[in-house]
Structure 1
């Protein structure tokens, strides 16, 4: 199968106007490869340009961020080695979210847990292969629940509607990637966004107010995504995470500069106490970061 390529990230990270608080966390970012060391999955729908741990750290240094949550992306499939390698070299500053299936043993999950992994992710979006096998997904969730892990779901707007009853079955923390990918072109009144707001009233639901560049119809600096993030923050300020999504796989047109994404934070949450929750306190609580 021919692999789809995708744009490389903007490596010329600008100096952000906003100064992130001490211990701020990028709660959604990736490491890709290097392919020669950590090959991409033959089942992946895309093979991105290499974006190794050194590039990620350079970007974070420019933003003034040390903590990060590395989210396993579908290009590496269930081979979590690149992510684990980056976590192991981070001096305790990184945590991880893996991709796994029902071939993983309890010992496999213990190894991941011992190496900083705190969640498991499932993709539902069509361009990454569509919904997983739900029976397999339930088996994996049963395995990781005793570890205190959480579930991360990468969904499109329509998936929130289609699988609402399925997601409602679980009591463990559920984290929604990229604001549910609700398109700003459909307005804040759209059904998918309203369903997401309703789910966020549940005490076990979290959401990442990242992916502004993915849901925006206006393009950089993605100000049309701000009301969507603000609505989610208003419903559940203690269960909001923020991330860059570096190196921004499968962006179709406008590759963001990560400084612009950080500069959205004070526009979404002008109150410094709320910024502290979103960038520091909430990820520290969910991922077990310690000062």
Structure 2
């Protein structure tokens, strides 16, 4: 089994090397997008997604100076990562992926995912079908061996549990959508202490999903929260558009720049500019 230090023996090691060179320091990233194939099977009880292929978001992002994307497995496909993996394979070395797997996933599949650019596993505490603590404990050693992280879609009430799970594991933590710190959260809520503990462990936070946080465009209600999070985790913020914005109808999607502007407004243009480059370290 390849380890983080010994993966140059992997048959796709050259793809890994070119990926790291192509996505190096100074590159601009969108660290949270989804791709959908309207013909792909979906989980029972989920919505039927529209067709949103990789080339569409590549074009939109490129028009705003963003070349690299992190493709996050949407819950509608469960642990069938085929759509995301096909998209990664179509652009060797250019993008990265975050998969959804169960604890029984074979090592060979994890290694194939790594060669294609997957660097993390997503856990969803918001959905009742998402992975939980038992799966984390089972997967953690194998994720650590590959230097993968765990990305949590969670609410503020879950942050203390997540901090306890990660403590001492050596597995990096990434928190979706501003760690769930919504606009109505009190400034003295216990979630802030839990987030401070996670930040002390080295957690990363995605500045994304504003409309999932009880805020309305242009999301000024979240500015102080963004600043406070930035002070807790300096250098460990990444930005994601959350394209194609599954909370919206296809003809009412937010403009791409409109979900970047809240970062600029909260942090200023210079500090905000570094946020789109930090991902080159997290997803290397």
Q: TM-score band, normalised by the shorter chain?
A: 0.7 to 0.9
- Matching of residues 221-240 of structure 1 within 5 Å: 221-240=218-237
Alignment deviations for residues 69-92 of structure 1 (CA, whole Å, 9 cap, x no partner) = 111111111111111121122342
CA–CA distance in structure 2, aligned partners of residues 255 and 169 of structure 1: 41
Structure 1 range deviating more: 53-62 or 231-240:
53-62
Q: CA deviation at 1:157?
A: 1.6
Is the 8 Å Cα contact of residues 30 and 247 (structure 1) preserved in structure 2?
yes
Is the 8 Å Cα contact of residues 237 and 278 (structure 1) preserved in structure 2?
no
For residue 133 of structure 2, what is the aligned residue in structure 1?
Answer: 134
- 3-state SS in 2 of match to 1:200: helix
For residue 287 of structure 1, what is the aligned residue in structure 2?
Answer: 283
For residue 272 of structure 2, what is the aligned residue in structure 1?
Answer: 275
Q: CA deviation at 1:169?
A: 4.8
| Ranges in structure 2 where 5+ consecutive residues have no aligned partner | 1-24
Question: Of the candidates 198, 203, 206, which is equivalent to residue 204 of structure 2?
Answer: 206
For residue 242 of structure 1, what is the aligned residue in structure 2?
Answer: 239
Q: CA deviation at 1:271?
A: 5.3
- Matching of residues 70-89 of structure 1 within 5 Å: 70-89=71-90
Pair 1:185 & 2:184 matched: yes
Pair 1:24 & 2:23 matched: no
Pair 1:113 & 2:111 matched: no
CA–CA distance in structure 2, aligned partners of residues 164 and 150 of structure 1: 14
Is the 8 Å Cα contact of residues 181 and 211 (structure 1) preserved in structure 2?
no
For residue 21 of structure 2, what is the aligned residue in structure 1?
Answer: none
CA–CA distance in structure 1, aligned partners of residues 148 and 259 of structure 2: 28
Alignment deviations for residues 91-138 of structure 1 (CA, whole Å, 9 cap, x no partner) = 42210011001231110100000100011111111xx22553432322
CA–CA distance in structure 1, aligned partners of residues 27 and 58 of structure 2: 15
Alignment deviations for residues 155-204 of structure 1 (CA, whole Å, 9 cap, x no partner) = 0122224554234353211000011222212333322234223321223x
Give the 3 Å change call, closer, same or farther, for CA 23–215 of structure 1 in structure 2: same
CA–CA distance in structure 1, aligned partners of residues 183 and 129 of structure 2: 22
TM-score between the two structures when normalised by the length of structure 2: 0.83
CA–CA distance in structure 2, aligned partners of residues 107 and 150 of structure 1: 18
Structure 1 range deviating more: 106-115 or 45-54:
45-54
Is the 8 Å Cα contact of residues 123 and 151 (structure 2) preserved in structure 1?
yes
Question: Of the candidates 238, 263, 266, which is equivalent to residue 265 of structure 1?
Answer: 263
Give the 3 Å change call, closer, same or farther, for CA 164–174 of structure 1 in structure 2: closer
CA–CA distance in structure 2, aligned partners of residues 251 and 140 of structure 1: 33
Alignment deviations for residues 193-234 of structure 1 (CA, whole Å, 9 cap, x no partner) = 34223321223x1111112221143x1111111211111111
Over aligned residues, Cα RMSD in angstroms?
2.3
| Ranges in structure 1 where 5+ consecutive residues have no aligned partner | 1-20
May I ask how many residue pairs the two structures share in their alignment? 258
Question: Of the candidates 39, 46, 61, which is equivalent to residue 41 of structure 2?
Answer: 39
Give the 3 Å change call, closer, same or farther, for CA 113–91 of structure 1 in structure 2: closer
- 3-state SS in 1 of match to 2:63: helix
